Structure 1
Amino acid sequence: METRPMAPVLLCDLDGTLVDTVADLTVALNRLLTERGLGTLPQRRVRGLVGRGAARLVESGLAEMGGAVGPDGLSACVARFLEIYEAAPAVHSRPYPGVIETLTSLRAAGWRLGVCTNKPQAPSEAILDAFELSPFFEAVGGGDRFPVRKPDGGHLHATLELIMGGDAKAARAVLVGDSRTDLDAARNARLPVVLVDYGYTDVPAAELGGDAVISSFAALPEALEGIVADGPSTLPRTIPPMQ
């Protein structure tokens, strides 16, 4: 009897890939800065600071405004930022065009889906719930769920284990993200990566060296076909590890 190949897995970054979250992040960061007697940052500047986790966002925001603090002070600022942000993480945020339709199509084609993000677990789940995206994903690997996070490849592997259990090491997986952090995580995990060029990055996605670059989430299925030779509709063969 012929053995049916294992279903492929798509791991999705959240901020800047699935959902445009920068407006709510900007509101929360600027409220923290204002409480500390500092000025505020324009949203376009905050865009370049997103993607490496809450602590790096807060640390960078404080430094931008001349309010750098020591480790203890930073911990307190991060806690306050998360308190502000988690109270309203999805007021101004919106899924990018084509996200819901594309996730629906990929699920129907046999892909298993997960989220792997440096955003903390609680606001990640809240945002997915708010936009009715949670049912698409079998697991959410937030930035505080495991001992490591992107760009450590272990973050991707741990999220795969949530989805596939003991079969994770044999997973045929691809990451879709928007930044160097995602690229480095995929390379460290020895997985292919599709980069979107509309997200949060200080280096254009086309210059980062991903396996494919797309300008719309709706273009993802075609990009996956280019990376995985058999295409998502036929459950692709094993993707060779990246060298």
Structure 2
Amino acid sequence: MTGAVVFDLDGTLIDSAPDLHAAGLRMLAEFGAPPVTAAQTRSFIGNGVPVLVARLMAASGLPDDPHRHADCVASFLRHYEAAPAEQTTLYPGVVAALDRLEAAGWTLGLCTNKPYGATRTILAAFDLLKRMAVVVGGDTLPEKKPDPAPLRHAFLALPDGARLFVGDSEVDAQTAQAAGVRFALFSEGYRKSPADSIPHEHLFADFADLPGIAATLE
């Protein structure tokens, strides 16, 4: 018996921080705000675009009133969706790991807080879209991670069997816990705290190790 492996996207399969940073800089410039650093942007990733934009606004000194925030979100999305994969890269070993998982009979899916449209564009750019039996974006449901609803929605669309969620952050760990799903933490992503302080059943730094982790669940 195998089952399903669902992945987070940013900081897990892809290093998207450079493109998110570029879109943030263009948004801030549009509103006459000073730039933020790449490291700041990287630390803001994980809770979806509205939260990312609010954090960028706060870091650059823009007042966060609802109307301005809505305008900034629209600006950020316009800039980001124009070039979501220009500087983004796959983490080493991702494709080989997905090949091995599929060969072993695992069905793959994706659950991210990134908007659905940009998610599909990026997956297609890296030839990953056809591999995902389900894609749940940050606007697929009213709820976002760490609410368990998006992850449960993803697994409901996949075959029964063993279940594993693969992510890189505190948000992903909280989501897995709330959904009652085993969690594999990729240690090289966007987490903000030490790996040993984030609840997980499995920890890996090299995607070559992931198929073996999944095999232990069968």
Q: TM-score range by the shorter chain?
A: over 0.9
Alignment partner, residue 200 of structure 1: 190
* 1:103 counterpart = 2:101: no
- Residues 192-221 of structure 1 show CA distances to partners (whole Å, capped at 9, x for unaligned) of 100011101211223212111111222112
Give RMSD over aligned pairs: 1.2
Asked if 1:157 is matched to 2:147, the reply is no
> Within 5 Å, which residues of 2 pair with 1:99-138?
99-138=94-133
On the 8 A contact 1:104/1:136 being kept in 2, the answer is no
The aligned residue for residue 76 of structure 1 is 71
Query: Unaligned 5+ residue runs, structure 2?
Result: none
Alignment match, 2:174:
184
- Count how many residue pairs are aligned between Structure 1 and Structure 2: 218
Task: List structure 1 runs of 4+ shifted beyond 6 angstroms.
Answer: none
2:26 aligns to what? 31
Partner of 2:139: 144
Tell me how far apart the structure 2 counterparts of residues 204 and 32 of structure 1 sit (CA, whole Å): 31
Q: % of aligned pairs identical?
A: 37
Question: Which range is displaced more, 177-186 or 67-76?
Answer: 67-76
Is 1:216 paired with 2:195?
A: no
Q: Give the Cα–Cα distance (whole angstroms) in 1 for the partners of residues 195 and 189 of structure 2.
A: 9
CA-CA distance at 1:171 after TM superposition: 4.6
| Number of the residue aligned with 1:239 | none
Question: Distance between the aligned counterparts of 1:143 and 1:10, measured in 2?
Answer: 18
Q: Shift of residue 89 of structure 1?
A: 0.1
Give the TM-score, by structure 2 length. Answer: 0.96
Aligned-partner SS, 1:163: coil
CA deviation after TM superposition for structure 1 residue 39, in Å: 1.2
